[in-house]
Amino acid sequence: DAKTTQPNSMESNEEEPVHLPCNHSTISGTDYIHWYRQLPSQGPEYVIHGLTSNVNNRMASLAIAEDRKSSTLILHRATLRDAAVYYCILRPYSGGSNYKLTFGKGTLLTVNP
Amino acid sequence: IAGITQAPTSQILAAGRRMTLRCTQDMRHNAMYWYRQDLGLGLRLIHYSNTAGTTGKGEVPDGYSVSRANTDDFPLTLASAVPSQTSVYFCASSAEPGSSYEQYFGPGTRLTVT
C-alpha cells in the first residue's frame, strides 16, 4: 500500500485557517485520498475525501496537487473543537474484499484560544 | 439519528472469560468493520463484513469471531479473553465496502483483560 507522510504536530490559533499537509509520492492512479480525525477519547470521524479534483464540504476543503503526490486539508476557521489527530489515508481501488482504513500516526493539531 | 452504538462503554474482564462486544447501526449500511486501537500501533482491522450474511478476516483476527445475521448488527466475540486483547475497540460502517465510501465509527468500547 502507498504510504503517507504527515507532520507529527501543528499548532494554530482559534478562528485562523489551518493547512494540514500530507505527502503521498507513491500514490497510484486509482487511490482515493481520505482524511479522518480523532478527537480525544472518541472514535475516528470522517472529514473529507477526493480522487483528483479539489473537494469542499461543510467541515473542510481538500486541495489535491496536480500530480497527486501531495494534498492539503484546509480548515477555514479553526475552533477549539478542531483540536484532534488528523489522519491522511490512501485507499486503493481494488476488486478485493478488504477495504480497511490504514491509520498512520497522523498530525496532532493544537488550537490555541 | 443515532448512527453507530456500541456496548458496553467499558468492561473489565477476567482472562479466560467469554465476552461479546455489541455494535448496532441504524443507517442501513451494507459494510461493517471492527478495529482495535492500541497506543503506538494505530487502528488495526480485526474483521469486516461487506454485506449481511458474509464476514472476512482483517489484519488481526486471531482470538476473535464475528457474525452478521442482519444488516444492523455486527457483534464481536472474544471466546477466551487474554491480556493482550486489552484495547479500545471501534465498530464502523460504510454504505458500501468500496474505497470511495467513508466509514462512520462508533464511540468505542474500552476493554481491560486482567
pLDDT computed for residue B28 by the predictor: 95
A44 to B43: CB separation less than 8 angstroms, yes or no: yes
Q: B97: pLDDT confidence band, cut at 50, 70 and 90? A: confident
Is pLDDT above 70 for B92? Answer: yes
* Percentage with pLDDT > 90 across chain B: 84
Q: What is the dihedral of CA B21, B27, B31, B37, to 10 degrees?
A: -40
- C-alpha B101/C-alpha B87 separation (Å) is 26
Q: Kindly report, residue by residue over A79-112, the tens digit of the pLDDT.
A: 999 999 999 999 877 655 456 778 888 999 999 9
Q: What is the pLDDT of residues A57-78, one digit of tens each?
A: 999 999 999 999 999 999 999 9
By the 8 A CB rule, do B3 and B27 touch? yes
Do residues A99 and A51 touch, judged by C-beta distance below 8 A? no
Q: Which residue in A has a C-alpha nearest to residue B34's C-alpha?
A: A100
Confidence check: pLDDT of B57 > 70: yes
All cell numbers assigned to B111: 476493554
* Pairwise pLDDT comparison (A12 vs A102), residue with the higher score: A12
Does position A29 have pLDDT exceeding 90, yes or no? no
The predicted-structure confidence for B61-89, as pLDDT tens digits, reads as follows: 999 999 999 999 999 999 999 999 999 99
Contact between chains at A101 and B97 (C-beta distance less than 8 A):
no
Mind telling me how many Å the CA of B66 is from chain A's nearest CA? Answer: 15
Model confidence at B1: pLDDT above 80: no
Distances (CA, A) of A110 to A10, A86, A100, B55: 6, 11, 28, 39
Cell of A55: 473537494
Strand partners, B81: none
Classify strands B109-113 and B10-13 as parallel, antiparallel or unpaired.
parallel
- pLDDT tens-digit series, residues B4-24: 999 999 999 999 999 999 999
Q: Which of residues 89-108 of B touch A (CB under 8 A)?
A: 90, 92, 94, 97-108
Ranking B46-50, B70-74, B90-94, B100-104 by mean pLDDT, the lowest is B100-104
DSSP-derived pairing of the beta strands A61-64 and A70-75 = antiparallel
pLDDT for the residue numbered B9: 97
**Option in A43, A49, A102 nearest B108 (CB):** A43
The CA distances from residue A99 to A89, A103, B18, B22, B33, in Å, are 12, 13, 28, 21, 9
Taking alpha carbons only, the member of B87, B95, B92 closest to residue B105 is B92
